[in-house]
Amino acid sequence: VTLPYYNGGVQLERNAVYTKLYSKVGLVVMWNGEDAVMVELDTEYTNRTCGLCGDFNGLPVHNEFVHNGEHL
């Protein structure tokens, strides 16, 4: 797929650090191309989901979703 890509409620784009997938159902997935994935859900899913939270690496001060002091 050539980026940026838009089709059927899905947007896929790349910035300097991450590849991002946006969905019209309120899902955002960010991947650094190597070893980190972050999933965000719209607030409409509050109290309607369960599973792992965070990066599950046991290091609360390590946040791979901050680049140059900015949240991605």
pLDDT tens digit string along 12-60? Answer: 999 999 999 999 999 999 999 998 888 888 888 887 777 656 555 556 5
> What's the rounded Cα separation, in Å, for the pair 11 and 24?
9
Are the C-beta atoms of residues 14 and 22 closer than 8 Å to each other?
Answer: no
62 burial level (CB within 10 Å; 0-12, 13-18, 19+):
exposed
The single-letter code of the amino acid at 15 is: N
Are the C-beta atoms of residues 30 and 20 closer than 8 Å to each other?
Answer: yes
**How high is the pLDDT of residue 26?**
93
Q: Whole-model pTM above 0.85?
A: no
Pairwise pLDDT comparison (8 vs 64), residue with the higher score: 8
**How high is the pLDDT of residue 70?**
72
**How high is the pLDDT of residue 49?**
76
* Cα 34 off chain centre by: 13
Reduced to 3 states (helix: H, G, I; strand: E, B; else coil), residue 43 is helix
**How high is the pLDDT of residue 62?**
60
